[in-house]
């Protein structure tokens, strides 16, 4: 069976899912997984509930935000880098315009009446 390597970064409170001590601000895990692994599979392997993550980037592209997680079934490829930020991470509103997104996130944002723009999120 073919395998892939996925570089996973966990920030803030999520660092504990990567084995970091409670006092550490981040953790980095290099996962080896079967070809066809999805974001959902990575979360399962880390024992991390998807509801605990806030903003997520895959290879520098926005793939999820609180309440919008169209990336769960996104297949990953060898060398992908995922950054999971905890729900308390702030992302200044002005930086959201023009952000590079995964195709799944772009489609989800465009299909929403509010275009995914909020000043606050309900989690």
**CATH homologous superfamily, domain 3-111:** Beta-grasp domain (3.10.20.30)
Structure tokens at 18: 């990567």
- Kindly indicate the confidence band of residue 120, based on its pLDDT and cuts at 50, 70 and 90: very low
- Contact (Cβ atoms closer than 8 angstroms) between residue 71 and residue 58: yes
Question: Is the pLDDT assigned to residue 98 strictly greater than 70?
Answer: no
Q: Which residues lie closer than 8 Å to 117 by C-beta, 6 or more apart? A: 93, 96
Bigger pLDDT: 114 vs 17: 17
- Contact (Cβ atoms closer than 8 angstroms) between residue 16 and residue 49: no
Structure tokens at 4: 């892939």
> What is the dihedral sign for C-alpha 29, 86, 15, 11?
positive
List % helix, strand, coil for the chain (3-state, nearest 5): 25, 30, 45
User: Which of 36-40, 78-82, 116-120 bottoms out in mean pLDDT, i.e. has the lowest?
Assistant: 116-120
- Kindly indicate the confidence band of residue 26, based on its pLDDT and cuts at 50, 70 and 90: very high
């Amino acid at each position: 069976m073919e395998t892939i390597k996925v570089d996973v970064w966990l920030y803030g409170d999520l660092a504990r899912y990567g084995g970091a001590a409670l006092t550490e601000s981040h953790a980095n895990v290099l996962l080896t997984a079967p070809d066809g692994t999805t974001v959902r599979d990575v979360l399962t392997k880390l024992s991390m509930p998807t509801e605990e993550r806030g903003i997520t980037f895959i290879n520098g592209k926005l793939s999820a935000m609180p309440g919008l997680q169209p990336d769960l079934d996104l297949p990953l490829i060898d060398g992908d880098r995922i950054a999971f930020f905890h729900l308390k991470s702030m992302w200044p509103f002005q930086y959201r315009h023009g952000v590079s997104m995964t195709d799944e996130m772009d489609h989800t944002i465009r299909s929403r009446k509010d275009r995914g723009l909020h000043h606050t999120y309900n989690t």
